[in-house]
Chains A and B, each alone.
Chain A
Amino acid sequence: MSFEEFVARRHAAGELVVQPRMGFADPAAMRAGLAATRNAAAATVGTVTLDSYTRVCDTASVAHALRNGIALNGYPIVNHPAEVTRGMLDGLEGPDFPVQVRHGSARPADIFRAMIAAGLHATEGGPVSYCLPYSRTPLDESVRNWAHCCDLLLDAEHPAGRPHLETFGGCMMGQLCPPSELVALSVLEALFFYRKGVRSISVSYAQQTNMTQDQEAVSALRRLCAELLPEATWHVVIYAYMGLFPRTSDGARGLLGTAAELAVTTGSERLIVKTTAEAHRIPTVAENVAALDHAGAVARSVTGRVVVEDDNQVYREAYALVDAVLNSHADLGRAIVVAFKRGLLDVPYCLHPDNAGQARSYLDATGRLGWSELGSLPLHRVVERHHADRITSSTLMSALSHVQNAYDAEALEQPMRAIGGES
């Protein structure tokens, strides 16, 4: 059973598939992490997250670290021989436990080759989302690289089922990117994969700052995918909040629980979790398993889909962005490059040289993300602009910490209430 079939069957059975981020340099540690993920009390898929050196094709630094026993922040799939990776997965990965490779590279050809050689068929990323926020690679080069990787994936034999690609575009910058642009980028990357011939796709969306706005965003994402990916099998993957995470355990669990609620109420099929260690360090296997268990339990306790207005504000903005890009060039890869050059796509606070950097976002009093500066974004007729005050280091930090503080405060107030006997 392939990645897509596993997710579809669990969804049909009423289960939310939950997945960690997890990567260890040592094959035995990686295997133990996957085994623990598989045994968690939830419907899980496994993750092999690669290290940061592999992302930037620095195999020499990986080799140095492996030789000298220096810790890496992920599994170096290019340096480990294919038979080592196959051995690491042997008896674990399979129809009941698909494994996805997660990396973050704008130059991923060697990663794709290593993954295919190891018998894996599911990965994620995209020409924009793994270039602009995470690299110095020129956008047009990243587009060429990702087109080539789609070919690599489609040309290879995959005995376990159709190769699967997930967009990372719905997670751009982790925080403070207005949901409409997240939706537009996720859709555009999905369409990029689709036009290359990929037919098994998932589209990401990362939890932001306001539940209602997030639900509108997932609705918009579904509406656009239904229209643009008619012959693909696709599902939605929600990412638990990717910005500054609550420092208290209760706050972190509360925020993860809200992400699970977002996933279930929007009919999303899969959730990438975060742990109670997130604010402090890279989580342990046990912390990841606890997060999977918690997310699964919350998902089981939530019932019912939310009813969202089809033609909501997030949809209108996302539609305008996607439409402007598609009208920029017949070839979608060129269109994306041209759109960024003209500022038709412009990611707030993104430092990459190919990003215009004129658009700015802000958080309103209700926690909704909006635009304070539009730059050249084609949203002048769609958005009510808000002139926010000039951003300073402390106002930026407040916006970045908004969710962290809200969930920590809630967690810290509970025992105070208990002591005060207010209930």
Chain B
Amino acid sequence: MTEELHAYGGGVATGPSRRTVIVSSMASDSHTWNLVYLELLVGELGFEVVNLGACVPDELLESECLSRRPAMLVLSSVNGHGHQDGLRVIQRLRALPGLRTMPVVIGGKLGVGGALTAEETAQLLLAGFDAVFDDQQGAASFRRFAATLSAGASQVEA
């Protein structure tokens, strides 16, 4: 991997990187402990981690994904707006030809009323998320998902 790829917000046109994972919040969510934890967790799985921090606007998320072509985008939300924000963000990302097959997962406390209903989870999956990790599940199911990416061929389209 080139040095340019490490540069924050570099906007360098590169191929997909199997080694880089972007960890991010969404625009309205100010929480960061979840992101600090995920940065360490994903790093321990052998990936380079780019942590975009709190309140990431849709435009920044889009440009970071386009320039870095990560092995996976991990969206984490705990403010109760994750369902609504997640639907908006995934539709925007999947509309871009370069990001249609990028693995994207979402997790956290995604609704204002506790765990999401099966229907709400299905909406997120239908809209384009590869996996939805409810707060109750713990890290194990996320680790298993991430392990499938680090194990072998890149799932990111060239």
Contacts and interface: CB of A to CB of B under 8 A. Distances in A.
Contacts of A174: 33
A8 to B, nearest CB: 32
Chain A, interface size: which category? 20 to 34
Interface residues of B, number: 28
Interface in B75-119: 79-81, 84, 109, 111-114
Contacts of B112: 71-73, 281-282
Contacts of B51: 351
A134 B54 contact: yes
A72 B80 CA distance: 8
A357 B98 CA distance: 33
Contact of A135 (B35, B41, B55, B139): B55
Contacts of A400: 33, 37
Main secondary structure on B side of the interface with A: loop
Contact of A56 (B27, B33, B41, B139): B27
Contacts of A392: 40, 44
A396 B113 CA distance: 27
Interface string B24-41: 000111101101110011
Contacts of A412: none
A353 to B, nearest CB: 8
Interface of B: 27-30, 32-33, 35-37, 40-41, 44, 51, 53-57, 79-81, 84, 109, 111-114, 139
Main secondary structure on A side of the interface with B: loop
Contacts of B109: 281
B80 A351 contact: no
Contact of A351 (B53, B79, B81, B111): B53
Nearest to B36: A349
B84 A135 contact: no
B54 A135 contact: yes
Nearest to A349: B36
Given A73-B80, A396-B40, A397-B37, A352 B54 contact: yes
